[in-house]
Structure 1
Amino acid sequence: MHIDQWIESVPPTAVYALVGLIIGVESLGIPLPGEIALITASMMAVGGTINPWGVAACAILGAIVGDSIGYSIGRKGGKPLFEKLGRKFPKHFGPDHLETAERSFQKWGMWAVFFGRFIALLRIFAGPLAGALRMPYWKFLIANVLGGVAWAGGTTLLVYQVGKVAEKWLKDFSYIGLVVALGIGAASAWLFKRRAAKAHAAQAAHAAQAETASGGEGRLEPVKD
């Protein structure tokens, strides 16, 4: 069962805690699909099952608390912690991943924590790596709070608003939308096939011309002593 199906099977009142927990653990440095959990919960709010503001609040809290715990772990463990994790989980904490994240921190500083919220790789590394690199906590905390609000809150409200608009449009224009969608799909498929056929014909003609040209020119004469 995928994470989105699992969340949908959970009682509505428990979804808030589950979203906060998943995002918090991901922010702590453990690779979990926090973004998928957040989007799934936001879509559930579109249907009226849960409150979008509750989802946003729990997601923001989980992001900030999880990142802060990750910062403390990274500050105590330092780089040896990442080397150990890299040996155990090379897919997520390999040397290439660590090097990329470290370069981002060296270049952008506290902004790497803020923008790292929107990038899957940095979202996992942000807290622990900021601690390991000894970033001052007050700088980390500012970027952590702003990034958590912007990413978790912004994503929730964006998905919710888009979902509500789409739901209303589909409810009012369901048959029209279906016909238009089918028409666009058929037209796109026809156009794609036509372009593919033209490209294939042009490629064949070019190959034929090249073969004809090479038949009478470009022959190598044997080297005479």
Structure 2
Amino acid sequence: MQKGNAKISMAVIRRLPKYRRYLAELLDRGVHRISSRELSKIIGFTASQIRQDLNNFGGFGQQGYGYNVAALYEAIGKILGLDRKYNTIIVGAGNLGQAIANYTNFEKSGFIPKAMFDINPKLIGLKIRDIEIIDADKMEEYIKENNVDIGIICTNKEQAQAVADRLVKSNIKGIWNFAPTDLDVPEKVMLENVHLSESLYTLSFLLKHNRID
């Protein structure tokens, strides 16, 4: 991502959702303003890191006042693109796909699940929270007719790349991939891989190497 001629690192971008989450908690507690030093104690980043991250996107704090919590929360939401709606589809209506369909917080954040797709004839026609499961053969047609922004892949490893290729050909803008494989997509398509097993294995490492024998 660019600000002027300066490139903003993915590390900074990946910290923004955490800032927003903690700011939401502060708003719930009725906190109206907060300093970078106070924010650092809550989030775990240094005050200098927080100021540096936020300065990538403009000046939000005021000397002697700190940050207006509501204004900063709204500003970060806009930076993250959460001031608009995204039509999404879920490809793969198994346990993981159904769990994502049932998670209403995504919808509250503007990610609207429009439909699910699967190849299993036993699932086709069923609804998960009013989201219909449609035959995967009809996916391209549906994307074209419903202005879909994001495809969420919840298939197995073997099917994932073929699904991604179909999404790309349908001019999908972004892919959120839960299949346990890295996908190959053109640069114009934004791709986010979520490897659940890698996160679990990291936890396993931490448990092993912090245990007292």
**Same fold by TM-score, threshold 0.5 exceeded?**
no
Q: TM-score, normalised by structure 1?
A: 0.24
Larger Rg: 1
- Normalized per residue, the structure richer in helix is 1
